[in-house]
Amino acid sequence: SDQARIGGHKKIRARLYHEAGLDTIDKMAACDAEEIRKILTDFIQKTGFKGIPPTPGEAKNTATMAKYLKRLVEY
């Protein structure tokens, strides 16, 4: 998927984004870094997901990359 092209989105982290509802780069691109962290932190707290939210820098990288990556997967 396009999400795997964003740095740091491997295995557990990719599953976290997907299960928390940020399952496309368009959805990620619509958020800023703070919103991404809040969505993921809230999801972890509500569900007991075995993972940690991204750092502020990681969330910023995700938001930035999602805005500029060419979409390769069509929905």
Q: What is the pLDDT of residues 13-59, one digit of tens each?
A: 889 999 999 988 899 999 999 999 999 999 999 999 998 999 999 99
One-letter amino acid of 8: G
Contacts of 68 (CB under 8 A, 6+ apart): none
CA 55 to chain CA centroid, nearest Å: 12
Predicted local distance difference test score (pLDDT) of residue 2: 66
Give the count of alpha carbons within 13 A of 26, CB side only. 5
Q: Check whether 10 has a pLDDT greater than 90.
A: no
Q: Which two tokens stand for residue 63?
A: 């938001």
pTM across the whole model: 0.84
Predicted local distance difference test score (pLDDT) of residue 75: 57
* CA neighbor of 26 nearest in space, from 10, 75, 37: 75
Per-residue confidence band for 74, with pLDDT thresholds at 50, 70 and 90: low
Q: Which two tokens stand for residue 61?
A: 């990288």
